[in-house]
Structure 1
Amino acid sequence: MAKKQLDDDGLHDALRGLGLTNYEVRVYLAILRHPHSRIPELARHSGVPQPKVYGTVDRLIERGLCQSHLGAVNQYSAIAPDDAFLPLVAQLDARRRAATRAVEELARRHSDAEEGLTQREGRVKLFKGRPAAGRAFNALIERVQRTLDIVAQFPPVSTDYVELVNDALGRDVQVRFLFELPADADPAAYPLIGELTATGLEARRTARVPMRLGIFDGVITALPMYERAESSGDGFTMLEVRNAGLSAGLTTVFEMLWEGAREL
């Protein structure tokens, strides 16, 4: 398949991405299209004021992108781009690698800081909106090491349950899901239930639960809440609390609900 050609705007953006200024891009493209042009001609073709073209051409020559043809009146032409742009592309690749390393280091520092905060008893976080609540809930599942107890209602707070549960089971985490389903509901009508039970977790159903709930290693509790939005927002909020006492109390509630539920 032939590569799609860039239009002028695409070329302009790409060259700016390589570090050229707006004037340098405009003058360079004028030189490329009109080889052996003089300064007044380059000003006309590029739309760059003629006094600015002189310095711009000098910078392009310093970058190795064009060359001058000396004479009574100097003329300018582009050097073969395949060779001329290699240093700039190499510099861009180096900047990208440096940026990637910087982001990885920032992520490590963020993780370390969050881990330190996690050790503080009584920490409370509030997340608004399903995307934010879902990301936070997923992160808790990813970090769980021993036990994961979830009371689930529809719509679910996370859209990634299946993958996350598979990973948790692979870490030998005990996973229990309690679904709220109407007494006459057919579980087969809920694809998520079928996909989750296929992972091998423990799953039960009950007609009514007091709340959505997630208990992680008996230490951290997540309380996702959903109210049908009347205006703005999607109706989701979530509290995340690190408090052993609260987790212990809600674990007792979970066990009571679990004992009274039916297997799926």
Structure 2
Amino acid sequence: MTETNDGGGDDRPSEHEAVESLERLGLSNYAARVFVALQRLGVGTAKEIHDVAGVPRSQVYGAAEELEDLGLVELQQSTPKRYRPVSLDAARRSLAENIERETNRAFDYLEAAREQRAAGETRDDVWTVRGHEPVNNRAVELVERATERVVYAAPDPSFVTDEFVDALRERADAGVCVNVVSESEAVRDLFADVSNVRASCPHDDPPADFTGRVLLVDSRAVLLSVLSDAPGSDETAIWSADTAMADILSRMIEGAIQTMSDI
């Protein structure tokens, strides 16, 4: 397969990168290479595709059949057989629909598998999450399960995503008591227009070494994160829910927050 790239500062992906991307979308290597070759040919026989894509001629037929099954290629029953790619818009839709279908199939099974877990399963008390985005996702999930009370403390707006604000708003509108505590005026301003969410400034300074966030949910779930001073380090959090450890940590942390604020 001939590698092409116009160069001259062109940011378009190379042919090799395009093939790799198609593979990640579910195509086999041969099918991806055949599909790319057909974009150049427009219409091609197995021999012509072999000449352009470098795919063994005996493998072109199977790759083309794979593409046909995915709705990416049309076949002309001539002698020899001729293949033509569908439009790129149609190909994009077909691949997107296939990904959505396979995703739904996988997660339908995963949801069923979760439901089949024994009610008396053993749980580890504390879990660790690494990375700012995974910690954000876990915080949102915990808030979404709140039924009575949420307390959240954060030092700056980077710990308050739009999705997290929406989750707090939804819970507050449902009658959950939501308190946000932060020294940062920028953090408090994020909740200025969010009804039923109380954002306040602590009257005592938090510990000087506190660099992360704290989330308490219903005295049954807790998330506590830290940021390392090391260059390139990311946020790390521990969390626990519906465990004796979560209950103990929640009481201790809420007591500490209450000494610094009026929640």
TM-score by length of 1: 0.62
Q: CA deviation at 1:217?
A: 0.4
Q: Tell whether 2:177 aligns with 1:171.
A: no
Structure 2's unaligned 5+ residue stretches are: 1-12, 69-73
Q: Which residue of structure 1 aligns with residue 190 of structure 2?
A: 195
Q: Distance in 2 between matches of 1:251 and 1:112?
A: 33
Q: Which residue of structure 2 aligns with residue 136 of structure 1?
A: 138
Q: Distance in 1 between matches of 2:36 and 2:181?
A: 67
Does the CA contact (< 8 Å) of 1:24 and 1:56 recur in 2? no
Q: Helix, strand or coil: the match of 1:246?
A: helix
Q: Tell whether 2:239 aligns with 1:240.
A: yes
Q: CA deviation at 1:167?
A: 1.3
Q: Which residue of structure 1 aligns with residue 206 of structure 2?
A: 209
Q: Helix, strand or coil: the match of 1:148?
A: strand
Q: Distance in 2 between matches of 1:213 and 1:30?
A: 53
Bigger-Rg structure (1/2): 1
1:100 maps to a residue whose letter is: T
Write the deviation string for residues 183-233 of structure 1: whole angstroms up to 9, x where unpaired: xxxx3xx1x322213212122212412354221101112212234x33231
Q: CA deviation at 1:252?
A: 2.6
2:34 maps to a residue whose letter is: V
Q: Which residue of structure 2 aligns with residue 219 of structure 1?
A: 220
1:198 maps to a residue whose letter is: D
Q: Distance in 1 between matches of 2:122 and 2:156?
A: 32
Q: Distance in 1 between matches of 2:95 and 2:110?
A: 22
Q: CA deviation at 1:168?
A: 1.3
Aligned residue pairs: how many?
230
Which of 1 and 2 has higher RCO (CA within 8 Å, sep 6+)? 1
Distance 1:114 1:32, change over 3 A: same
Q: Distance in 1 between matches of 2:216 and 2:42?
A: 66
Q: Which residue of structure 2 aligns with residue 127 of structure 1?
A: 129
1:208 maps to a residue whose letter is: D
Q: Helix, strand or coil: the match of 1:138?
A: helix
Distance 1:15 1:66, change over 3 A: farther
Write the deviation string for residues 151-178 of structure 1: whole angstroms up to 9, x where unpaired: 2222553423321211111221100112
Q: Which residue of structure 2 aligns with residue 78 of structure 1?
A: 82
Structure 1's unaligned 5+ residue stretches are: 1-6, 70-75, 182-186
Distance 1:255 1:97, change over 3 A: closer
Q: CA deviation at 1:256?
A: 2.8
Q: Helix, strand or coil: the match of 1:199?
A: coil
Supply the RMSD in Å over aligned alpha carbons: 4.8
Q: CA deviation at 1:22?
A: 4.8
